[in-house]
């Protein structure tokens, strides 16, 4: 399936570049570990290549699927993702890894419903905000219904537990509501009321409290709670300006936890150095600017809301992952879009780009 020629070529090139970087770095960061665990150094690479192929096929399909049609699918998609979240709690269906119940076991693969929830929530909000128009400024008819839906989703995510995805979804939802014209007073009051809840969720749960303390002073417990942050910072330090060289990094050798997923950016820092770090960060920043440009050029309110929501989702996830790896935010298990190992995340990101490309085609693509 060929991509349309009237799409934003800059966004397309950025997406291909980030995905290719991801494939290369997944192999570099996982080969030795995969050889020891599975006796196959290409174990993760082969699976990521399959996910990449599926993702690009779906992305190409999304460029031809008129974005207006997503309005009809918005509510069913949200309900479907909620159903998948409920399936997690059925014994034998949900897969618990590291104490978290975040994956569904499907014959031949595992699925992470939280990634689908992120996309479906953006679709739902874009559709509903467009339909309500000026009513979004009303507390009872506009704002509270969204908070009820958002609260339900966050409660289910926290039950897994998955605080990272919950905060991403909350951030994207509030961002879309602000852009749609919701009163700032409502947003501010919601944030203030959420602070005690957030404090309880963090400080009253042992492992989360320890992560916060480790973030503030990782050297106080360098072999336990501070281990991840310290090893990540060591990786960046080892990389210097130009890096140790692709495949030569040492921190991925059982020092850096989840080197091919949550902390793959740290591997980039060690092997490709400051130059590689700046290139990846610049690619994400440029992608966000492309998404904002698409949103601003779109004259259709639904397309504008959808483009902004998808851009915010991709940009916020990238920002949080990069910040965690560099020790600017507490450790949280979130994938780096397009680059981290993981099928559901990659496919959802590529489909999101496909939708953005279709929106861009309606405004004439890129000159």
> Tens digit of pLDDT for each residue in 197-210?
888 877 877 877 88
Lowest mean pLDDT among 196-205, 255-264, 313-322: 196-205
196, two tokens: 């005690």
Say which DSSP state 94 is in: E
pLDDT the model gives residue 367: 41
CA 274 to CA 263: how far, in whole Å? 16
Q: Which residues of 290-317 are buried (b: 16+ CB within 10 A; e: fewer)?
A: bbebbbebbeeebbbbbbbbbbbbbbbb
pLDDT the model gives residue 366: 52
Local confidence band at 5 (pLDDT 50, 70, 90 cut-offs): low
Cis peptide preceding 161, ω within 30 of 0: yes
Give the position of tokens 């009253």.
204
Taking the model in full, what pTM does it have?
0.94
Higher per-residue confidence, 332 vs 183: 183
The answer to whether 356 and 310 are in contact (CB under 8 A) is yes
């Amino acid at each position: 399936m060929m991509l349309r020629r009237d799409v934003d070529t800059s966004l397309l090139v950025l997406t291909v570049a980030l995905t290719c970087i991801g494939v290369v770095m997944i192999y570099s960061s996982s080969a030795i570990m995969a050889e020891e665990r599975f006796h196959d150094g290409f174990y993760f690479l082969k699976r990521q290549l399959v996910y990449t192929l599926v993702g690009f096929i779906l992305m190409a399909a999304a460029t031809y699927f008129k974005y207006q049609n997503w309005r009809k699918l918005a509510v069913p998609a949200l309900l479907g993702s909620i159903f998948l979240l409920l399936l997690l709690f059925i014994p034998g269906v949900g897969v618990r890894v590291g104490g978290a119940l975040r994956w569904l076991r499907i014959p031949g693969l595992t699925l992470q419903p939280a990634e689908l929830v992120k996309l479906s929530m953006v679709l739902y909000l874009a559709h509903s905000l467009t339909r309500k128009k000026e009513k979004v400024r009303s507390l009872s008819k506009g704002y509270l219904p969204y908070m009820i839906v958002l609260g339900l989703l966050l409660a289910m995510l926290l039950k897994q537990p998955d605080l990272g995805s919950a905060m991403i979804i909350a951030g994207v939802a509030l961002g879309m509501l602000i852009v749609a014209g919701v009163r700032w007073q409502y947003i501010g009051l919601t944030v203030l009321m959420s602070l005690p809840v957030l404090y309880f969720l963090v400080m009253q749960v042992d492992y989360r409290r320890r992560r916060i303390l480790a973030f503030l002073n990782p050297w106080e417990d360098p072999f336990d709670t501070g281990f991840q942050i310290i090893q990540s910072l060591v990786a960046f330090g080892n990389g210097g300006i130009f890096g140790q060289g692709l495949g030569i990094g040492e921190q991925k050798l059982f020092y850096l936890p989840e080197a091919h997923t949550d902390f793959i950016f740290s591997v980039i820092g060690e092997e490709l150095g400051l130059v590689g770090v700046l290139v990846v960060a610049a690619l994400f920043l440029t992608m966000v600017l492309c998404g904002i440009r698409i949103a601003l050029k779109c004259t259709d309110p639904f397309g504008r809301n959808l483009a902004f929501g998808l851009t915010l989702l991709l940009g916020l996830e990238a920002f949080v992952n990069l910040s965690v790896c560099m020790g600017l935010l507490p450790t949280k298990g979130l994938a780096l879009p397009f680059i981290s190992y993981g099928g559901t995340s990659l496919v959802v990101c590529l489909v999101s780009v496909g939708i953005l490309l279709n929106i861009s085609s309606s405004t004439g693509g890129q000159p």
